[in-house]
Amino acid sequence: LKEKHKILHRLLQDSSS
């Protein structure tokens, strides 16, 4: 699922937002 949702995964990982 992570592979298919790279942008969502990146948004979730991004701690600066």
Partner 1 sequence: SLLESPNSSLTEIEHLTQNVLKSYRETCQLRLEDLQLLRWETFTKEEVGSYQKKSMEEMWERCACHITEAIQYVVEFAKRMSGFMDLCQNDQIVLLKAGAMEVVLVRMCRAFNSENRTVFFEGKYASPELFKSLGCNELINSIFDFAHSLSSLHFSENEIALFTALVLINSNRPWLQEKSKVERLQNNLELAFKHMLRKNHREGILAKLPPKGKLRNLCYQHMEKLRSFRQMYPIIVHAVFPPLYKELFS
Least distance from partner 1 to the Cβ atom of residue 3, Å: 10
Residue 17 engages partner 1 in binding (rule: CB under 8 A): yes
Q: What are phi and psi of 10, to 5 degrees?
A: -65, -40
Residue 4 engages partner 1 in binding (rule: CB under 8 A): yes
Asked whether the beta carbons of 9 and 2 are under 8 A apart, the reply is: yes
Least distance from partner 1 to the Cβ atom of residue 14, Å: 9
Residue 16 engages partner 1 in binding (rule: CB under 8 A): no
Residue 6 engages partner 1 in binding (rule: CB under 8 A): yes
Chain Cα centroid distance, residue 3:
10
Chain Cα centroid distance, residue 1:
11
